Amino acid sequence: MIMAFHFLGALSHIQKTTTHSTFVFRCHRIRCAAYTSMALSTGAHSAWSRALLRQKPRRGSLRKRTVILQRPRKRAVRLEEDCQDGADVLRRLVPGCDGMDSAELLDETADYIRCLEEQVSLMRSIVNVISLNFNPKS
């Protein structure tokens, strides 16, 4: 409920202030509003919510992703490195999780996923309400 309050307020502000902006710019503003409302509704108990609230919006082009080819490795070394690589991927995906140990990382990831699911549910509800208002049943 708190997330809906923050998100709808931010959407209203975006609607009032960005009348002649590009589609990409509006999408970026909506995404920032969604993440900020999610972080505000959670509070400051999570590292990811604090990181999202501290994060400044980025400007400029998206970074290029590069693929690095690797040599084949021995199985035991590869399994250990794959586990570490998985943890590193999670650290990059979940805001504010740099330098956390595995247990904290998994707790933060679970909390972040729960909040993302709530955010998706909220956005689906908004879309359903809007679509019912524009397409009333005859």
Structure confidence by residue, pLDDT tens digits, 11-63: 777 777 766 677 788 888 888 888 888 888 887 778 888 888 887 655 544 44
- Top pLDDT among 31 and 73 is at 31
- Top pLDDT among 108 and 61 is at 108
Q: Dihedral sign, CA of 131, 4, 110, 48? A: positive
Helices 2-17 & 23-42 angle (0-180, nearest 10)? 150
pLDDT given at position 82: 60
pLDDT given at position 14: 76
Per DSSP (E only), the strands in 1-138 are none
Q: Which of 13-17, 55-59, 82-86, 126-130 has the lowest mean pLDDT?
A: 55-59
